[in-house]
């Protein structure tokens, strides 16, 4: 689906460019249009080649639409969105060198146990590769399968060539790094519910993750769960806002963070404001802007003695294992995390009309299939702070939407854990 969506959007761009070319006598944009067309073709080939094993496998399978599986991997970042991060991590940018240096210094200074590290939302995996030499086992965790596949094939020795849309489609050629002796695993998972045994990791790293994750409190709990007592969490991200904070005050200041992390079972080892030029393309593109931004860089240690920390008593497993009490829970929409469903009518050049269904959550929008939109609309219409999950499910069922109890609970999982749109009360 991801590849098909990109192909359609590139086909529309090509169609419009050709239309211009047709009407212009003297095409002064010819150089740029050619680069753009070449860039789109190259980028599609990168995605198709990387995902070939998956598309071949799926072509052999009987088609089974599963709106929920789809909704649970939509993070708002496609592999194509991530290409500028591949440039940032692997083109020898000063920005990446700065990040690498900060992490390496803090690991050397504070790390006591070098067994395992997990980089959450590892994206282009530059930081993962950079720390992998220090640890026996390293895990790159990301929701985007296609991004991890591109990163894995590159780290394993395949050169990567693509064009950067944000840099007027300039070409970027990346040479793979030297092979590393230590184990690297690429894990496709939501960072809010990871497949690691509790208390098993020496270090967790987050870079540009805490600032946009739907629920930073849940992420903090999950990192606390997977770290060994005494394990390190190192973070580099824009300031974040906790769901319980007043919306009007915006994101937290550095000095407002320790009290939260201490309550969550961490000791603060260091905390500083840094500046970072995110996705700075100046090295390859003279007309690039320089997006300097404020970043919170901190290192925390999970308490050696974690017995005082209240465990999350209502486990995530309740959405997957048969359990009667979950049906009595009452959902309400989380303050400040409203969801917008939009039915857009697009009128194109030939007056042709297309309808697109879109969903927007936390500032990100993406198109969704019609059956999922109906399910979502009906489910959320029942969320009024009084109806229990059982009552809402009955309402959905009576509307003629054929949906098993198991699938409904998975939808609630997606809404509650993944997108953090609803809270649940007993």
Ligand X SMILES: C[S@@+](CC[C@H](N)C(=O)[O-])C[C@H]1O[C@@H](n2cnc3c(N)ncnc32)[C@H](O)[C@@H]1O
Binding site for ligand X (CB under 6 A): 75, 77, 82, 85, 121-124, 141-144, 147, 190-192, 207-209
Task: Kindly tell me which of 102 and 124 has the beta carbon lying closer to ligand X.
Answer: 124
| Least distance (Å) between residue 155 CB and ligand X | 14
- d(C-alpha 366, C-alpha 346), whole Å: 15
Q: How far is the CB of 89 from ligand X (least distance, A)?
A: 6
- What are the CA-CA distances from residue 5 to residues 2, 8, 11, 368 (Å)? 5, 5, 10, 11
Contact in structure between 117 and 201 (CB atoms under 8 Å): yes
Give the DSSP H or E segment for 7: helix 2-23
Q: How far is the CB of 418 from ligand X (least distance, A)?
A: 7
**Closer residue to ligand X in complex, CB, 165/207:** 207
Provide, rounded to whole angstroms, the least separation between the CB of residue 304 and ligand X.
Answer: 28
Classified as helix, coil or strand, 323 is: coil
φ and ψ at residue 144, rounded to 5 degrees: -95, 105
Rounded to the nearest whole angstrom, what is the least distance from the CB of residue 341 to ligand X in the complex? 21
Minimum CB distance to ligand X smaller for 37 or for 152: 152
Give the residue with the Cβ less far from ligand X, 150 or 403. 150
Cα dihedral 119→120→123→126 (10° resolution) = -20
Q: What is the DSSP track for 16-81?
A: HHHHHHHH-SS-TTHHHHHHHHHHHHHHHHHHHHHTHHHHHHHHHSPP---HHHHHHH--S--TTT
Shorter beta-carbon distance to ligand X: residue 188 or 424: 188
SS3 content of the chain, % helix, strand, coil (to 5): 40, 25, 35
What are the residues whose beta carbons fall under 8 Å from the beta carbon of 283, sequence distance 6 or more? 91, 92, 93
Q: Which two tokens stand for residue 362?
A: 């936390």
Distance CA(419)–CA(372), nearest Å, equals 15
How far apart are the C-alpha atoms of 92 and 174, rounded to whole Å?
A: 10
For residues 90 and 261, which CB has a smaller minimum distance to ligand X in the complex? 90
DSSP 190-238: -TTS-SS-TT-EEEEEEES-TTTSS-HHHHHHHHHHHEEEEEEEEEEES
Which CB, 142 or 329, lies closer to ligand X?
Answer: 142
Q: Which of 400, 334, 376 is nearest to 74 (CA)?
A: 376
Distance CA 389, CA 332 (A): 10
Identify whether the C-beta of residue 264 lies closer than 8 Å to the C-beta of residue 309. yes
For residue 97, the minimal CB distance to ligand X (Å) is: 14
Sign of the dihedral through C-alpha 69, 72, 73, 77: positive
Q: Minimum CB separation from ligand X for residue 218, in Å?
A: 10
By beta-carbon proximity to ligand X, the closer residue of 160 and 209 is 209
> How far is Cα 15 from Cα 40, in angstroms, rounded to an integer?
13
Nearer to ligand X, 125 or 392 (CB): 125
- Which is closer to ligand X, CB of 235 or CB of 379? 235
Minimum distance from CB of 288 to ligand X (Å)?
17
**172 closest CA partner among 150, 143, 187, 139:** 150
Q: To the nearest whole angstrom, how small is the minimum distance from the Cβ of residue 256 to ligand X? A: 23
**Closer to ligand X by Cβ: residue 97 or 259:** 97
CB of 85 vs ligand X, minimal distance in Å: 4
Least distance from ligand X to the Cβ atom of residue 236, Å: 8
């Amino acid at each position: 689906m991801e590849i098909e969506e990109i192909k359609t959007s590139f086909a529309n761009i090509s169609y419009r460019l050709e239309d211009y070319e047709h009407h212009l006598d003297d095409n002064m944009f010819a150089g740029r249009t050619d680069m753009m067309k070449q860039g789109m073709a190259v980028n599609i080939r990168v995605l198709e080649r990387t995902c070939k094993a998956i598309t071949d496998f799926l072509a052999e399978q009987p088609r089974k639409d599963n709106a929920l599986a789809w909704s649970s991997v939509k993070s708002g970042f496609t592999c194509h969105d991530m290409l500028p991060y591949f440039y940032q991590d692997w083109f020898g940018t000063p920005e990446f060198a700065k990040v690498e240096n900060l992490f390496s210094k803090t690991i050397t200074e504070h790390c006591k146990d070098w067994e395992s590290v997990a980089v959450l939302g590892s994206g282009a995996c530059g930081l993962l590769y950079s720390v992998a030499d220090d640890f026996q086992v390293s895990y790159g965790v990301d929701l985007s399968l296609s991004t991890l596949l591109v990163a894995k094939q590159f780290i394993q020795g395949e050169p990567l060539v693509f064009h950067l849309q944000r840099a007027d489609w300039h070409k970027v050629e990346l040479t793979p790094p030297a092979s590393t002796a230590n184990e690297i695993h690429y894990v496709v998972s939501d960072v809010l519910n990871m497949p690691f045994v509790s208390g098993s990791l020496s270090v967790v790293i987050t870079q540009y993750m805490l600032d946009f994750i739907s629920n930073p409190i849940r992420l903090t709990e999950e990192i606390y769960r997977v770290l060994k007592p005494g394990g390190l969490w190192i973070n580099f991200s824009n300031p974040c806002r906790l769901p319980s904070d007043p919306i009007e005050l915006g994101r937290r200041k550095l000095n407002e963070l320790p009290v939260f992390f201490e309550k969550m079972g961490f000791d603060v080892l260091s905390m500083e404001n840094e500046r970072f030029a995110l996705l700075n393309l100046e090295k390859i593109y003279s007309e690039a802007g320089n997006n300097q931004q404020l970043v919170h860089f901190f290192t925390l240690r999970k308490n050696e003695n974690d017995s005082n920390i209240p465990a999350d008593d209502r486990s995530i497993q309740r959405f997957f294992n048969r359990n009667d009490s979950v049906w009595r829970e009452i959902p309400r929409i989380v303050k400040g995390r409203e969801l917008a469903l939009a039915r857009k009518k697009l009128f194109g050049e030939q007056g042709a009309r297309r309808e697109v269904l879109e969903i927007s959550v936390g500032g990100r929008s993406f198109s969704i299939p019609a059956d999922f939109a109906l399910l979502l609309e009906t489910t959320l219409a029942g969320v009024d702070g009084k109806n229990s999950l059982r009552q809402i499910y009955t309402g959905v069922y009576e509307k003629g939407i054929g949906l098993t109890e198991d699938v409904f609970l998975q939808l609630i999982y997606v809404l509650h854990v993944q997108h953090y749109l609803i809270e649940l009360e007993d």
